[in-house]
Amino acid sequence: MKKTLFIGIFVFSLALNLAVAATLGWHIWKERSVTGATMIALSDKPEAPVNPEDIRGIRRIMAQQDRTGLLEIRSKLAEKNLEVLELIAKNPQDLNSAEPKIKELVALKEQMERQALSRISRTMAVLPEEKRQVFLTVLKNRACLMPRMGMGMGKGHRQWRENMGMCPAQQSQ
């Protein structure tokens, strides 16, 4: 009786582990195939695909740059966004009362974009010409896929992307 129970638990555990491993493998394979295909499709030179080595090198260069200013602005932006939402919640009929806070919010967003573009420019200046093209492909990919970040990897993101149509970066080619 004990032996049969032990074998039953062992078989169940083995089946469960195999199911988890298969699911994990499928998700990893699916994510790599979608990301790789998108990056190659967005590339101006399809014969030069983006490889993980290039991405690691670009990440290493970007990590060397100071991000404290960008992070401070992002924090202020979140605070200002909450202030605007609170003002609108207090008086939803009068958007004009929130106008000064909205202008501050827009100014912070502009400041953040300028710092981000400055960081990208410094990175581009360090990279050799062929790696700049890879970096540009990665940036285009991020720009097209950014809205879906945080939406999970279920059916919704695929349907969302199909409904949205082609990315502007793909249309410009």
Name the DSSP class of 93.
T
Give the residue-averaged pLDDT of 138-149.
66
Task: Report the percentage of the chain scoring pLDDT > 70.
Answer: 72
Asked if residue 38 lies in contact with residue 169, where contact means CB atoms within 8 angstroms, the answer is no
> How many structural domains compose the chain?
1
Banded pLDDT at 160 (limits 50, 70, 90)? very low
Q: In the prediction, which pLDDT does 111 show?
A: 92
Stated pTM of the model: 0.54
Spatial distance between the Cα atoms of 112 and 68, rounded to a whole number of angstroms: 11
Return the pLDDT at 110. Answer: 93
The residue-averaged pLDDT of 100-112 equals 91
- 113 pLDDT above the threshold of 70: yes
Residue 44 is predicted with a pLDDT of: 44
pLDDT tops 50 at residue 148: no
pLDDT > 90? residue 29: no
At 23, the pLDDT band (50, 70, 90 cuts) reads: confident
Calculate mean pLDDT across residues 94-110: 89
Query: Which residue is listed with tokens 């990665």?
Result: 138
35: pLDDT strictly greater than 60: no
> CA-to-CA distance for 130 and 54, rounded, in angstroms?
10
Q: How far is CA 72 from CA 36, 40, 53, 121, 124, in A?
A: 33, 34, 31, 20, 23
Q: Which two tokens stand for residue 163?
A: 């409904």
pLDDT at 146: 53
Asked whether the predicted pLDDT for residue 166 surpasses 70, the reply is no
Do 29 and 91 contact (CB within 8 A), yes or no?
no
Domain span holding position 70 = 2-171
